[in-house]
Chain A
Amino acid sequence: MFVAWRDLRFAKGRFALMGSVVVLVTLLVGLLSGLTAGLARENVSAVTGLPASHVAFAAPPGQQEVSFTRSRVTEEAWRVWRDAPGVRSADPLGIRTADAAAGERTAAVSVFGVEPGGPLAPAAGGGPGPGRVVLTERAAEELGGLTAGSRLAIGPLELTVAAVAGTAAYSHTPVVWADLDDWQRLGSPGSGSDAASGATAATVIAVDATDGADLAAADRAAGTETQTVADALGAIGSYRSENGSLQLMRGFLFAISALVTGAFFTVWTIQRSGDVAVLKALGASTPYLLRDALGQAVVMLALGTGLGTALAAGLGALISGGDVPFVLDAGTVLVPAAVMIVLGALGAALSIRRITAVDPLTALGSAR
């Protein structure tokens, strides 16, 4: 990188201009990544935090995709799963969104109905039980700072707060952990009379299965469709559309970064093709020149991305403590930076490959 380093210093205006574009794109990608992760956390953390490997949905009719909103599993299905070979545990989980009220305060919450004392139930304050719920911190805060022993109402139910613990959220609402029987009295979403008929035991079944478990056989017997927890997140409608849009934006930013870097180095390589011809005539090998040019691109990308990432981390730290859902960790800071450098280097590599086509013969007789 003997010549490349000196080119960087000599043409510092041009490289600073390009570097600032990389800084801004990295800043945007970093903020978007943190926001995407923050929104995702508010959408799915209650599901990803379940002590389960799979989620069994009621098999949808036709070719429809499974959905937390439409799924209703029966007690019979749950018993089939509980007794299936290779299944360590299978527990019914009821999910519905409801309005909770405490005094004059109301808040939208997601009521997660679990079996008291079961593996899905939080242990804090003895966990949920008949007439007792465990609130997440945000639910307690939004309801006016409830604490253990406070009273609240969800639909027709009058409940007592057993404990305030955790940060689980589902579909952008804080979770309230309730007794499954209480949850059933709320009724399944959209069903109205299911609770009365007793047909619906829960929304899904949280399954913890060994690697060798025959999930397909259990699905056939129980009339369910099972997915891993990670795949099951796609069954949360708001998560799928929101995450898809944000990831698309992130993808476009990565593509723009690679294209802009590639365009810059295309122009730069054309501008210095005379220098390249001279160096080739003097004996520089093509691999040497390619390494030199790619090294130059990586240095610029690393500096620009480093600065952009630092700015994104700083801004993220400022806003992550407030109301904006923002996650600041290695996954949202370092991974986008690494992708920016790799894609930018790829764009640059495609541009500087024209070095191979420069004819050293043009250095003879050329005026420079």
Chain B
Amino acid sequence: MTLLVHDATLTYPDGEGRLTALDAVALEVPAGTLTAVVGPSGSGKSSLLAVAATLVTPDCGRVVVAGRDTARLTPAEKSALRREEIGIVFQQPNLLPSLTAAEQLLAMAHLSGRPPRALRRRALELLDAVGLADKADKRPHELSGGQRQRVNIARALMNEPSVLLVDEPTSALDHERGAAVLDLLAALTRERSTATVLVTHDRTHLERADRTAVMADGRLTEPLPAA
């Protein structure tokens, strides 16, 4: 199992009490599958992604990424795990304004201590895979919203992660462009054997998922059959 979240509970301070963001959540995502997590705003979807991305440590429960129990990792080891094993597709592209599309990907290689120059070919292949081969030298402000989101996806795949965490990737896109991005994510998940978790509030996306789970009030209910 590439991603395993076992009985994870996460609470935040809320006035004099605590707000439960995740309530004994359990999730298993095998390699090469796309699991969609749907639910309304505030249901705990983003908290689940944050826990799976090792950005937040749950109060109790376990998170295992690529066979490594993240509870035992130091902050530096968690950073390394995010670099090497976890790809994050942000809700908004979150591209760095000073970098071209290709450099957004090469920055990931540099973070991992690999020489960016040697990996330029791989970056261009990934941009080609998301349909942006001719935009490699464009900066974010020269790209459309859909193109920026595709660079966001390519960047997440640059270091060949085993887990891909996708946060509402179509929220800033129209329906047609959103559908294209989701088709791309589903295809890349199978092609590159990533364990992909897609968080969304839009149920029209579920047809691309291998499995679907519903999040409500911090609890993950029984997986629904794929739409």
Residues of A within 8 A of B220 (CB): none
> Any chain B CB within 8 A of the CB of A247?
no
- B94 contacts A361, C-beta separation under 8 Å: no
Per the 8 Å Cβ criterion, residues 74-91 of B in contact with A are 76, 79-84, 86, 88, 90-91
Cβ of A278 and Cβ of B46 under 8 Å apart?
no
Is the pair A364, B46 in contact by a Cβ cutoff of 8 Å? Answer: yes
Check A367 against B92 for contact (C-beta < 8 Å). yes
In the complex, are the beta carbons of A278 and B94 less than 8 A apart?
yes
A2 and B46 in contact, given A9-B98, A10-B97, A283-B79 (Cβ under 8 angstroms):
no
**Given A366-B94, A368-B92, also A282-B167 (CB < 8 A):** no
Q: Are A288 and B90 in contact (CB under 8 A)?
A: no
Residues 78-116 of A, flagged 1 when their CB comes within 8 A of B and 0 if not, give 000000000000000000000000000000000000000
Cβ of B84 and Cβ of A283 under 8 Å apart? Answer: yes
Q: How many residues of B contact A (CB 8 A)?
A: 38
How many angstroms between the C-alpha atoms of A284 and B112 in the bound complex?
8
Instruction: Name the contact of A283 in the complex, choosing from B56, B83, B92, B167 (C-beta under 8 A).
Output: B83
What is the size category of the interface that chain A forms with chain B?
Answer: 20 to 34
Chain B min CB distance to A302 (Å): 20
Task: Check if A283 sits within 8 Å of B98, measured CB to CB.
Answer: no
With A279-B111, A283-B82, A285-B79 in contact, is A364–B55 under 8 Å at CB? yes
Q: How far is the CA of A284 from the CA of B218 in the complex (A)?
A: 29
A137 to chain B, nearest CB (A): 58
Asked, given contacts A6-B99, A282-B82, A285-B76, whether A365 binds B91 with beta carbons under 8 Å apart, the answer is: yes
CB distance from A197 to the nearest CB of B (A): 81
With a cutoff of 8 Å between Cβ atoms, the chain A residues found around residue B155 in the complex are 282
Residues of A bordering B, CB below 8 Å: 2-3, 6-7, 9-11, 274-275, 278-285, 288, 360-361, 363-368
Question: In the complex, given contacts A6-B103, A281-B90, A364-B91, what are 13 additional A-B residue pairs having Cβ atoms less than 8 angstroms apart?
Answer: A3-B107, A10-B97, A278-B90, A281-B53, A283-B80, A283-B83, A283-B111, A361-B50, A363-B94, A364-B90, A366-B91, A367-B172, A368-B92
* 10 residue pairs, one from A and one from B, having the closest CB atoms: A283-B83, A10-B98, A283-B82, A2-B110, A6-B98, A278-B94, A367-B92, A7-B98, A285-B79, A361-B55
